[in-house]
């Protein structure tokens, strides 16, 4: 047997060096939880180590399982129990590997998500470098041609087609599907398959060098990707407390973001007994949402808690404005954003295909003064109505991820 030159070449896989390198990287990841400046309460530590497990599981999905470009299949890049990268609670994310010199067909049923988006990307999130990834081509649900029964097919690569076609390029690596849900209880996910057009039905045996490349990418996911999200989270938390900056970029998909989406990023600071009002006038748009996330840039549990709201779920005031209330205990208003015991965290907003980007105003005040700070006609929610809302919310969220 030839000696290994790299832990991740065929010899390194066979000899176990690739596995050993990955295990060392997993052990080193403890610094994401135990490092300087990281919240260190018992709960924070528990959430931190759970995050590492979830981040590893997501890495296995996108770096290992979704890496087959010959016989690709859609994997959940982010799941309800695998949250990372400041994910949107309204969105279902799917990913499949592709290669630039091949041709593929995506087909199935469109479903009824409020917005649907297909995107071919180069680079990879495991690189941990925003400048090294971006979008080659994209197609959204408003452009997609769908049959009357909801079925459709989209072709990737090969000869250009007049409809439902996405261009590939030599550096193409994966296709990303985003589905945004507005009415969680009634909208349903798409049923999708992807096939390479010129590949035989049977898959060849896995080679050691192939699994080596996937293990090497998974290690990069843990080290470089993990470092990027930590850096992004820290930069948001270093802003003045209770800040939300909206960036309306016409080409937001340039670095694998959603085309036409205005992104809002910032932080919240809400001690016990306090509240933070988030106020803005929602613009005319396809979809908007606001959500709370932890230190680790993972969405706060949005199934069991009302930690996010979108344009369908929120109740606007008589002046057309949105006023959300970040608090740890139920303030008895419809637009409660449950901080779930996190006194500080990251804050995200999204405005899809918006006419303009709003200018949010955030203000912190004692919870006892909240009623006087909100409009006089703000509706009150009885505990029984809150319980019913949370029950329906959990069922709808879990139903979206049902296999």
Domain boundaries, the chain: 1-65+206-229, 68-204, 239-400
Give residue-wise pLDDT tens across range 13-71. 999 999 999 999 999 999 999 999 999 999 999 999 999 999 999 999 999 999 999 99
Give residue-wise pLDDT tens across range 311-329. 999 999 999 999 999 999 9
**Mean pLDDT, residues 240-251:** 86
In the predicted model, what is the mean pLDDT of the chain? Answer: 95
pLDDT of residue 402: 84
Tell if the pTM clears 0.75, that is, is over it: yes
Give the C-alpha separation, 225 to 231, whole Å: 10
| CATH T-level assignment (fold) for domain 68-204 | Jelly Rolls (2.60.120)
Is it the case that residue 291 has pLDDT exceeding 90?
yes
Is it the case that residue 1 has pLDDT exceeding 60?
no
Q: HEC string of the chain?
A: CCCCCCCCCHHHHHHCHHHHHHHHHHHHCCHHHHCCCCCCCHHHHHHHHHHHHHHHHHHHHHHHHHHCCCCCCCEEEEECCECCCCCCCCEEEEEEECCCCCCEEEEEECCCCCEEEEEEEECCHHHCCHHHCEEEEEEECCCCCCCCCCEEEEEECCCCCCCCEECCCCCEEEEEEEEECCCCCCCCCCEEEEEECCCCCCCCCCCHHHHHHHHHHHHHHHHHHHHHHHHHHHHHHCCCCCEEEEECCCCHHHHCCCCCEEEEEEEEECCCCEEEEEEECCCCCCEEEEEEECCCCCECCCCCCCCEEECCCCCCCCCCCEEEEEECCCCCCCCEEECCCCCEEEEEEEEECCCCCCCCEEEEEEHHHHHHHCCCCCCCCCHHHHHHHHHHHHHHHHHHCCC
**Mean pLDDT, residues 202-210:** 91
The band of 258, judged by pLDDT with boundaries at 50, 70 and 90, is confident
Is it the case that residue 2 has pLDDT exceeding 70?
no
CATH architecture of 239-400: Sandwich (2.60)
């Amino acid at each position: 047997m030839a000696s290994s030159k790299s832990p991740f070449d065929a010899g390194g896989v066979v000899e176990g060096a690739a596995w050993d390198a990955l295990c060392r990287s997993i052990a080193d990841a403890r610094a994401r939880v135990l490092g300087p400046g990281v919240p260190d309460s018992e709960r924070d530590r528990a959430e931190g180590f759970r995050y590492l497990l979830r981040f590893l599981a997501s890495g296995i999905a996108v770096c290992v399982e979704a890496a087959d470009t010959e016989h690709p299949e859609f994997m959940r890049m982010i799941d309800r129990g695998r949250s990372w990268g400041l994910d949107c609670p309204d969105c279902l994310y799917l990913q499949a590997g592709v290669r630039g010199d091949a041709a593929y067909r995506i087909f199935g049923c469109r479903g009824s998500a409020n917005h649907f988006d297909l995107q071919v990307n180069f680079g990879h999130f495991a690189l941990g470098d925003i400048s090294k990834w971006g979008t080659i081509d994209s197609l959204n649900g408003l452009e997609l041609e769908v049959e009357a029964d909801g079925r459709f097919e989209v072709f990737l690569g090969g000869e250009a087609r007049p409809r439902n076609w996405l261009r590939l390029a030599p550096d193409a690596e994966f296709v990303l599907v985003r589905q945004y849900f507005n009415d969680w209880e009634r909208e349903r996910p798409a049923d999708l398959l992807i096939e390479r057009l010129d590949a035989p039905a049977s898959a060849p045996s896995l080679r050691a060098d192939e699994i080596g490349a996937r293990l090497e990418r998974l290690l990069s996911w843990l080290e470089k990707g993990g470092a990027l999200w930590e850096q992004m989270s820290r930069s948001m938390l270093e802003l003045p407390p209770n800040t939300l900056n909206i960036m309306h970029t016409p080409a937001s998909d340039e670095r694998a973001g959603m085309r036409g989406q205005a992104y809002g990023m910032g932080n919240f600071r809400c001690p016990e007994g306090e509240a933070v009002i988030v106020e803005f006038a929602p613009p005319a748009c396809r979809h908007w949402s606001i959500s709370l996330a932890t230190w680790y840039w993972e969405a706060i549990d949005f199934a069991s808690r009302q930690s996010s709201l979108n344009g369908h779920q929120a109740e606007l005031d008589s002046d057309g404005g949105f006023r959300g209330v970040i608090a740890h205990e139920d303030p008895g208003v419809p637009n409660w954003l449950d901080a779930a015991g996190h006194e500080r965290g990251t804050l995200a907003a999204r405005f899809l295909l918006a006419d303009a980007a709003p200018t949010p105003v955030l203000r912190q005040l004692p919870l006892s003064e909240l009623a006087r700070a909100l409009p006089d006609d703000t509706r009150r929610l009885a505990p029984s109505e809150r319980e019913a809302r949370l029950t329906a919310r959990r069922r709808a969220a879990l139903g979206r991820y049902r296999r």
